[in-house]
Amino acid sequence: MNFFKKILFILALLLFFIGGVKNSLAYGTCSKNSKCQPSNEGCVSSSLAGVCGFSGNTGCAKAGYPYQACNPTGCANGYTTVSNDNMAHTISCGCCSNTGDTSADTIVCYRKTCSQAEGTSCYDSPVNGVVPTSCSQYGTSYAPGFDYVARDGTCPTNKICCEKLDLCKDSGMCLNGINCGADGCSCTTTKGIAWNLGYDSSRTCTSTQKFWKCNTAMNGTCGSTNDYYFPSEGSPQYGPAPNYTKIWSTQAECELNCCDLSKNNWTDRQCVKKQPSSCSNADSHCLGVGYTQDATSTTTANDTCHGKKVDTTPTCGIANNHSFSFTPPISSLCSNGTFNSLTDHGGAWTWACNGTNDCGASKTVNCGTDAINNLPECTCDSSIAAGVCSGHTFNQPAVTGNCKTKFDCPGTKTAVNAYCSSGSCSPQCGQWNNATCLPGNDCGTQCGNLSCGGSCGTSDTGSPGMTTLSSPVETIISPKVYASGVSVVSLNWLKNSDSKASYYNIGVWHDEPGKPDIRDLDFDTSDINTVSTKTGFLTPGVLYRWGVNTKNITCLGYIYSGIYESGWSTLGYFKRSETSITTPTLTFNNFIGEVVPPDSTDKNHICQSEFKNGTDQIISVIATSSDTNAVSAYLRMNNNSSNPLLIGPVSYINNKAIFPIKDDGSSYTSDPYNVVAYSVNNLGETSPDSGSKVLKIWNCEVGVGGSFKKGIDNNPFTDFTNLTPLKFNEITMNIDELNSNYNGILIFGNTYNYSFKKNNFKGTSSMEVSDINGYFTPKDKLLIDSNITNPYLQTHTVSANFILYPYSDPWWQTDGNVLVKNEIKNNIPSDKNISTRGLVAATAGNITNNLSFVGDLNDNNNGYEYFYKNYYVNLGQGVTATTVGTGQTGVVFIQDLDINNDITINNDQFLMVVVKGNINIGVGVSKIDGIYVANGNININGKSDQQLNINGSLYSSINSINITRGFTTESKNNTDPAVNIKYNPGLLFTMPGKLMKVLSGWKQGI
């Protein structure tokens, strides 16, 4: 054996081994009166011992035993049938145990799986003894292109629903009646116009919404698949509701689309989709070829379209049988008895006859022929005498007509074909005869028309006119372009008014390299009134075309092999954009276009100085987009105190859309806005929002206020006589003099100089401004900015206090006694004393002193003449002179004295100047020593930055001393006296002794 032969031998052994294992698993042994083990699916036990297995149609029977036809209704209680299992093979009929063997044989209910054809069923069959909890437990042995999917919640408890997975529907591509292409999807049934449940599986269908039979509303739960209904258990429609049955929202709609009650009086009519059919004109309203009627419908002989589907390989039998209006002759049913009742078994009849049994007792005898089971015609009670029944067998008679003949299956009934004598009946029973009706012919030969009494005119024959598209209608050169976000678009056309138009066929195509004319949509409308549908999922960038072909099916029955159509309308072209609109950027710009960055708080507000344009505050909010398809932009502004604002559209010009914003007092609230921009392109597509920016829009008004304080002691300043009004630039503040404060309104971003009315005010002032943390710092000018008030708060205030240092009027001061006969006036500060240590006495005036007396304490009235006589004449003391200067001592007598230079003496010297007239002390004098006596006034006037120090005494015998001298630098008047008279006690003791030895008084003696 060469090498290859060895290999082949080994492979053969492996195959034999595998086959043996498989066979051993596939087949089991069934004993009589026992059932096959659960592992032997597909097998039922029979009354005969044998081998269970899957072996083709041999089913459950032992090999070599004949296959028995089932009678679904004839099974004894406790037995059931096995329907299609959709496995690799098909068992047309299940097995039943032999009648009478009911106690021993138990039929196991094998699982039912979802049928490929019907899609959905609810089953409770266990798999290997376990009730499945999901469809996946049923396996995946579905037809190619199908999968299972659970429809949880749609089946009763302990049952599970399996449904063919329709990729088209379940992926959402069949929304709104869109037919999917040949990609495995098969949305062959479109949604109803008024029935748009979407995919909300939780939605409950109300009884008034759904009609699958025209006169019966449905109760139950909407399925997750559009247009399909899964009735609830217990509802009238539970169980037999056909899959893919069109659900209509109203009875009228159901009737309009399905049935024509005007022609029929059915009370339980199933509404199925109206389809083009080869039925005759008279019947086309109802069912088309290939569609079945409800099995329970009551049919009539001329209801030719309500027959069963014509099989291409017809098999006679009950499934294809058809009932006709036929009743056996009752008079011949009972030979020796009287007729009791007749039962129609769907083409075969049984009846009962009243007779007398062998015992002579009256007895009702069941008669008739069970043709299906080939049972004896009459199974009478053994106690009943034979011959009661007629012995006849009544089968369906042949029906003849001009157009159709439905043949019975004459001959001997066999186990294989109960009705046909052989398998070659032609035509088969229940099969239509074909007939051809030509336009213009009368209907004498219409199929299914027994009488052929109708007629068909020529007016509705032929092709209808072409339909005009409504949208999209763009051409191949300039197709309609939809936004990238639009995956499905509407197709609209104008209703075709041609009376020949019956419905529309809509086509959508696109081309691919090597695959031209790929049709994406092939959709027939249900009527001529439907003028809109939708595409399926559009691939971005693909150029689609679409059109409408109008069809005429009114006399479809005449031409069995074709229909009239208008041909395609002018095609419209469209595409879905490949690119989406880009997000714009958002900037806040000033009026000259400069971008104003956020401030230190990462925000912007309209009162920023950068937004100032003259007296206005204007923001140019600019959305910038690099997307050349962006045509306009919007602003959306949100804050906490108002409804969102949407501003726009504003067209893009040079990629910029500008939104001028100015506070008009009403359009905006003062809470900061979060501002975003978005673009809209020429396809109507909206971009994502730009990044959000914070913007506050307000009137820029800031409340300013503060207090007036005295700089000396920081107490409230109350003397506003010479200070009002207070102005910031030209804005006058409101002053509350009683409380020493003020308030007013200023504008954010402006700089203000403050001013007082200074007509009589002498002094200085300073301003201190609080920052946002409450710290005051001196400021020369008031700049209203974010350092001193937070622009993003609801209220905006600024605190600015004024510290006032009024200039004092010139004043004088001394350290000695002041005795004034009349009045003292001195502008001395209130905290100062006129005399630092002496007594101040006067009749009136502002005597501000620690030691004071109001009254005249001046006993002096000696003037020039007195001193001249007593000192100069009597004592020879003193000199006369015209002026006095430094170096002069003693007593000097002068008529008038102007002192313009300093006069000083030594500490041990004495100077007394006695003036007959006035003494005037000039501003250039800063120091005078000595005692100065004048009959006239002593005047000390003018301004000088030098303080005048008089070290001695001033004495005006009968006149006044006027001291108005002040400092040139007026602020010095606040703290220092311009004239300081410092009493010199030494002059008393440097005075010539001769002048001291005077008579002090006399009196007459006794």
Partner 1 sequence: MNILNIRKKSGGQVVLIVLLASAVLLTLGLSVSKKATTDVKIDTDQELLKKAFNSAESGIDYFLGTGKTNYTETKSTVKVDVKSVGVSASIDSGTKISSGNPFLFWLVDHFPNGDIGASYYKGTVNLCADSSFNGALKIDYYYNDGSSYKVLTRVYNTGTNTVIGAIQDGFNSIKCITLTDLLNGNSLLLAVMPIGDQTKLTLNNGGLGQDFPLQGQDITSTGNVGGVNSQVKVSKRYKVPSFMLNSITAGGSVLNQ
**How far, in Å, CA of 42 to CA of 218, rounded?**
35
Among positions 297, 357, 817, 944, the unique one binding partner 1 when judged by CB under 8 A: 817
Beta carbon of residue 750, minimum distance to partner 1 (angstroms, whole number): 42
Of residues 346, 349, 343, the one with CA closest to residue 369: 349
Beta carbon of residue 780, minimum distance to partner 1 (angstroms, whole number): 33
Q: Does residue 96 belong to the site contacting partner 1 (CB under 8 A)?
A: no
Of 680 and 824, CB closest to partner 1: 824
- Quote the longest CA-to-CA distance of the chain: 205
Q: Does residue 872 belong to the site contacting partner 1 (CB under 8 A)?
A: no
Q: Does residue 820 belong to the site contacting partner 1 (CB under 8 A)?
A: yes
Strand partners, 150: 162
Amino acid present at 389: C
606, 661 contact by CB (below 8 A): yes
Residue with tokens 């009368």: 442
Q: Does residue 88 belong to the site contacting partner 1 (CB under 8 A)?
A: no
Of 789 and 849, CB closest to partner 1: 849
Q: Does residue 282 belong to the site contacting partner 1 (CB under 8 A)?
A: no
Which tokens hold the place of 125? 């069959």
Among positions 118, 152, 527, 856, the unique one binding partner 1 when judged by CB under 8 A: 856
Which tokens hold the place of 43? 């097998």
Beta carbon of residue 833, minimum distance to partner 1 (angstroms, whole number): 10
Does an H or E element contain 681, and which? strand 673-681
Of 44 and 933, CB closest to partner 1: 933
Of 122 and 931, CB closest to partner 1: 931
Residue 850 CA: distances (Å) to CA of 8, 342, 833: 143, 148, 7
Residue with tokens 């269970």: 52
Strands 797-806 and 564-568: unpaired
Beta carbon of residue 886, minimum distance to partner 1 (angstroms, whole number): 20
Beta carbon of residue 891, minimum distance to partner 1 (angstroms, whole number): 11
Residues 191-230 that bind partner 1 (CB under 8 A): none
Q: Give the interface segment with partner 1, choosing from 149-157, 538-546, 694-702, 990-998 (CB under 8 A).
A: 990-998
Beta carbon of residue 921, minimum distance to partner 1 (angstroms, whole number): 14
Residues 968-987 that bind partner 1 (CB under 8 A): 981-987
Angle (CA) 17 19 20, round 5° = 65
Q: Give the interface segment with partner 1, choosing from 487-495, 607-615, 767-775, 951-959 (CB under 8 A).
A: 951-959
Does an H or E element contain 522, and which? strand 515-524
Beta carbon of residue 963, minimum distance to partner 1 (angstroms, whole number): 6
Of 116 and 836, CB closest to partner 1: 836
Beta carbon of residue 860, minimum distance to partner 1 (angstroms, whole number): 5
Q: Give the interface segment with partner 1, choosing from 67-75, 243-251, 338-346, 843-851 (CB under 8 A).
A: 843-851
Beta carbon of residue 846, minimum distance to partner 1 (angstroms, whole number): 9
Which tokens hold the place of 947? 């303080």
Among positions 199, 326, 807, 853, the unique one binding partner 1 when judged by CB under 8 A: 853
Q: What is the DSSP letter of 75?
A: P
Beta carbon of residue 732, minimum distance to partner 1 (angstroms, whole number): 32
Q: Give the interface segment with partner 1, choosing from 83-91, 229-237, 338-346, 851-859 (CB under 8 A).
A: 851-859
Residues 517-556 that bind partner 1 (CB under 8 A): none
**How far, in Å, CA of 16 to CA of 593, rounded?**
90
Of 142 and 910, CB closest to partner 1: 910
**How far, in Å, CA of 359 to CA of 51, rounded?**
48
Q: Does residue 995 belong to the site contacting partner 1 (CB under 8 A)?
A: yes
Among positions 963, 967, 973, 974, the unique one binding partner 1 when judged by CB under 8 A: 963
Residue 246 CA: distances (Å) to CA of 250, 270, 659: 12, 10, 54
Q: Does residue 14 belong to the site contacting partner 1 (CB under 8 A)?
A: no
Q: Give the interface segment with partner 1, choosing from 4-12, 686-694, 720-728, 849-857 (CB under 8 A).
A: 849-857
Which tokens hold the place of 755? 């001013």
Q: Give the interface segment with partner 1, choosing from 133-141, 626-634, 850-858, 921-929 (CB under 8 A).
A: 850-858
Of 351 and 867, CB closest to partner 1: 867
Beta carbon of residue 920, minimum distance to partner 1 (angstroms, whole number): 15
Among positions 329, 514, 876, 1005, the unique one binding partner 1 when judged by CB under 8 A: 1005
Count the site residues for partner 1 by CB under 8 A. 81
Residues 890-949 that bind partner 1 (CB under 8 A): 907, 931, 933, 937
Of 96 and 819, CB closest to partner 1: 819
Of 670 and 984, CB closest to partner 1: 984
Q: Does residue 961 belong to the site contacting partner 1 (CB under 8 A)?
A: yes
Which tokens hold the place of 492? 């609209």
Of residues 808, 843, 837, the one with CA closest to residue 824: 843
The answer to whether the Cα torsion of 299, 301, 303, 305 is positive or negative is positive
Q: Is 177 helix (H, G, I), strand (E, B) or coil?
A: helix
Angle (CA) 99 46 55, round 5° = 140
Q: Does residue 845 belong to the site contacting partner 1 (CB under 8 A)?
A: yes
Among positions 954, 967, 973, 974, the unique one binding partner 1 when judged by CB under 8 A: 954
Q: Does residue 815 belong to the site contacting partner 1 (CB under 8 A)?
A: yes
942: left (phi over 0), alpha (psi -120 to 50) or beta: left
Beta strands in 729-791 (DSSP E): 731-732, 734-736, 741-747, 751-752, 754-756, 763-770, 776-779, 782-783
Residues 785-814 that bind partner 1 (CB under 8 A): 809-812, 814
Beta carbon of residue 722, minimum distance to partner 1 (angstroms, whole number): 16
Beta carbon of residue 717, minimum distance to partner 1 (angstroms, whole number): 23
Among positions 335, 642, 852, 946, the unique one binding partner 1 when judged by CB under 8 A: 852
Among positions 296, 327, 830, 1000, the unique one binding partner 1 when judged by CB under 8 A: 1000
Which tokens hold the place of 285? 């309203």
Angle (CA) 15 20 21, round 5° = 100
Among positions 572, 672, 816, 890, the unique one binding partner 1 when judged by CB under 8 A: 816
Of 307 and 816, CB closest to partner 1: 816
Q: What is the CA radius of gyration of the chain?
A: 63
Q: Omega of the bond prior to 540 within 30 degrees of 0, cis?
A: no
Of 234 and 985, CB closest to partner 1: 985
325: left (phi over 0), alpha (psi -120 to 50) or beta: beta
Which tokens hold the place of 618? 């204007």
Among positions 444, 598, 744, 992, the unique one binding partner 1 when judged by CB under 8 A: 992
Q: Give the interface segment with partner 1, choosing from 240-248, 360-368, 585-593, 853-861 (CB under 8 A).
A: 853-861
379, 366 contact by CB (below 8 A): yes
**How far, in Å, CA of 457 to CA of 434, rounded?**
21
Of 862 and 901, CB closest to partner 1: 862
**How far, in Å, CA of 577 to CA of 486, rounded?**
8
Beta carbon of residue 992, minimum distance to partner 1 (angstroms, whole number): 7
Residues 822-841 that bind partner 1 (CB under 8 A): 822-827, 835, 837-839, 841
Residues 112-151 that bind partner 1 (CB under 8 A): none
Residues in the chain: 1006
**How far, in Å, CA of 367 to CA of 88, rounded?**
42
Burial class for 329, CB neighbours closer than 10 Å (0-12, 13-18, 19+)? exposed
242, 232 contact by CB (below 8 A): no
Of 122 and 933, CB closest to partner 1: 933
